[in-house]
Amino acid sequence: MDSTKRESSGHGHFQDAYEAARVLSGKWVFAVLVQLAEGPRYHNDLARSTGMAENKPLDRTLHRLVHTRMVDRTVHNVGGSAPRVRYRLTQRGYSVLPIIDELAGWWRATEMPEH
């Protein structure tokens, strides 16, 4: 189905929203994006600033964000020691920040009082 038919059917719009939600889902995605909004970070800095005690969940989150072109990964070889990996938001990553802010505002505005 071409993109015109897909959009007019509404199904494509739903599918696009579903894919966006799938990419942004995950316990640490928002935390990583918000930390990177402050500027590029090295892996260990991200682990500390997001409060992640284990590397595996952070690695999975970063892999997903790099794969979806929301985050850029650069390896810096430092003579004789292990390479340092730096992450930064891409234009696509920055473009999702207002959506995160909007979502947070929606949640605050519609939050139900505790019983």
DSSP codes joined into one string, 16-76: HHHHHHHHH-STTHHHHHHHHHTS-EEHHHHHHHHT-S-HHHHHHHHHHHHHTTSEEEEEE
Read off the pLDDT of each residue in 21-45 and give the average, rounded to a whole number.
Answer: 92
Domains and CATH numbers, the chain: 3-110 (1.10.10.10)
DSSP annotation of 81 reads: S
The answer to whether residue 79 scores a pLDDT higher than 90 is no
The answer to whether residue 20 scores a pLDDT higher than 50 is yes
Residue 9 pLDDT class (50, 70, 90 cuts): low
CB 25 within 8 A of CB 65: no
Residue 2: CB atoms within 10 Å: 7
